[in-house]
Structure 1
Amino acid sequence: MEYTSLIISIIIAIYLAIDAPKHNKRAWLWAILGFIFGPLALGIYLIKTGRKILGWIITIVVGIGYIIFLFLIVLGALFIGGMQ
C-alpha cells in the first residue's frame, strides 16, 4: 500500500509514453510530466488530444483533491499552532 501512488504514476507515465506519438506529441515529455504530476498531467493530456470530457473530469477531480488536501494542511497547522 505504501507504493500505490508511485505505481499509479508509473502506469500513467507508460500510458502517456505509448499514446503520445499517436497524437504527434513528444513521448518522453509526456512520460516525465505523467510521472511527476500523475493524474493532473493525464487530464491535461486528454484535453489536448481531443478527449475533452474525460480530461476535464480528471482535471477537476484532481484539482478539488489538491484544494482539499491544502485546506486540511492549513487547518492542521492552525490547530497545532493554537495548542502551544
Structure 2
Amino acid sequence: MEGFFGLALNIILTIYLVIDSRKHGKNPILWGVLGFVFGAIALGIYLIKTDRKLVGWIITILSIIGYLLIILLVGLAIFFTTVGFS
C-alpha cells in the first residue's frame, strides 16, 4: 500500500510539472522525468525556479529532512538486526 501511495504521488507530481512547465516556458519532458524520479524535491526546485520561492524552499527542505529520516531509520534497523537488542 505504501509503495502504491508513493508511486501515485510521483505520477500526480509528474502530471502537474508537465502541465505547469509549459505555462512558464520550461521544458516539460525534463521536468516530467525529474518529477517522476525525484518527486517532492523536484517539485520544490521547480517552484523555486518559477519564482514561488517560499513554498518551493519549504517543500524542498521538508522532503530532504524526510529522506534523511528514512535513511536514518533504515540504518538503525540494519544496525539492530546485525547487532541485536541486547
TM-score where L is the length of structure 1: 0.93
What is residue 68 of structure 1 aligned with on the other side?
69
Alignment of 1:1-80 (within 5 A): 1-2=1-2, 3-80=4-81
Within 2, Cα distance between the matches of 1:72 and 1:11? 27
Mark the runs of 5 or more structure 1 residues left unpaired by the alignment: none
Please state how far the C-alpha of 1:46 moved relative to its aligned partner: 0.2
Size of the aligned set, in residue pairs, is 83
Mark the runs of 5 or more structure 2 residues left unpaired by the alignment: none
TM-score where L is the length of structure 2: 0.91
Task: Name segments (4+ residues, structure 1) moved above 3 Å.
Answer: none
Please state how far the C-alpha of 1:4 moved relative to its aligned partner: 1.1
Deviations 1:22-78 (A, max 9, x none): 211100110111011111110010001100000000001001001111111111111
Seq. identity, %: 52
